[in-house]
Amino acid sequence: MLRIFKVSGGSMHPTLHAGDWIITTQHRGPRIHDIVVSMLESNFFVVKRVQQIDGDSLVLAGDNPRLNSSYCDNPMPITSWMGTVLASFRYPFKFRFEFSATL
């Protein structure tokens, strides 16, 4: 299943920018260094990079060293994982594949 999300905020800069669109897949589980979408609360999603997988939890971090995200302070349950980023694009169209999300 593919899903499309719109990025907000700057925690994944320079990899992703506010306003970028991402396409995610649930074809396989998350792996270290993947960019993933996780659900924190009902209908509240975050886009972060997987730093560590520890049993049934994920340790996530943003790519922007200038921003600290409170969502990265604690491991998140792996059940919060909504998908791995397969591709991103922005308008005017600039399309990019995330090759770490091999199918």
CATH at 10 = 2.10.109.10
Whether residue 99 is contained in a domain is answered as no
Which pLDDT band holds residue 101 (cuts at 50, 70, 90)? Answer: very low
* Residue 102: partners with Cβ closer than 8 Å, 6 or more residues away: none
Q: What is the DSSP letter of 63?
A: S
**What is the pTM for the complete model shown?**
0.84
Mean pLDDT, rounded, for 29-36: 96
Provide the pLDDT for residue 68: 80
Domain assignment present for 101: no
Decide if pLDDT at 98 tops 70.
no
| Lookup: tokens for 46 | 């975050």
Position 18 scores a pLDDT of 94
The verdict on residue 45 lying in a domain is yes
Dist. CA 15–CA 70, nearest whole Å = 19
The structural domain count of the chain equals 1
Tens-digit pLDDT profile for residues 35-88: 999 998 778 899 999 999 999 999 999 999 898 877 777 899 999 999 999 999
Say if 103 falls within a structural domain. no
Q: Is residue 102 part of a domain?
A: no
Q: Which domain holds residue 36?
A: 2-93
Say if 80 falls within a structural domain.
yes
Residue 98 in domain: no
